[in-house]
Structure 1
Amino acid sequence: MKHSRLEDMTGGWFVGGFTPTALSTESAEVAVKSYKAGDYEAKHLHKVATEVTLILSGRVRMAGGEFGAGDIIVLEPGEATDFEALTDATNVVVKTPGALGDKYLVD
């Protein structure tokens, strides 16, 4: 058995081909991300990975829509989104395959 703590991970990412990690794999990347109202991430896309975001709590704006707890957003490679936390929010993010360096900022 291996034991890790989320607060010891970087940016909430705990599965993937990076360090530190609870599970090292190139197959996927997984994170639990917490945001404060007003937090913003610039518009970006992935050329290789599909990104799945589950909103656990709060309200967010991404991919041209507004989403809340229980919503699941799937972005295929090439689909761009920015991200804004409208309230404090917590998300689970899964990227498959794990593709380090596969984040491209767009205008």
Structure 2
Amino acid sequence: MRTAKLEDMVKGWFIGDFEPSLCRTEDVEVAVKRYRRGDSEALHHHKIATEYTVIIAGRVAMNGVEYGAGDIVVMEPGEATDFACLEDGTVNVVVKLPGASDDKYPGGAP
């Protein structure tokens, strides 16, 4: 048995092709992300990966639509989204499939 601390991972990413990682792989990326109200990400898209965002606790807005605990948002390659955390204590699980280093592009897809 091995153990690790999420706080030791880079921005909550604990599986994928980066260091540190509990499972170094190019096949998938998995993170547990913790947010505070006001945290945000600018509009972006992925060319390769499908991104699955599961809201575990709290509320977020993506593309102006509010989501809460239990919602799952799936962004296919080429679809763009922004992100805003609406309340403290928000927790998301994010899965990117396949894992694709450097697959985050600003703005909408051309």
Bin of the TM-score, shorter chain as denominator length: over 0.9
Deviations 1:14-72 (A, max 9, x none): 00011011111111000000010011111100000000000000010003311000000
Distance 1:28 1:3 in 2: 20
Higher mean C-alpha deviation, range 28-37 or range 58-67: 58-67
Structure 2: runs of 5 or more not aligned: none
Moved over 2 A (4+): none
Residue 57 (structure 2) aligns with: 57
Distance 2:100 2:32 in 1: 18
Structure 1: runs of 5 or more not aligned: none
Aligned sequence identity (%):
60
Taking structure 2 as the reference length, what is the TM-score of the superposition?
0.93
Distance 1:93 1:63 in 2: 17
Taking structure 1 as the reference length, what is the TM-score of the superposition?
0.96
The answer to whether the aligner puts 1:47 opposite 2:74 as a matched pair is no
RMSD: 1.0
Distance 1:63 1:29 in 2: 23
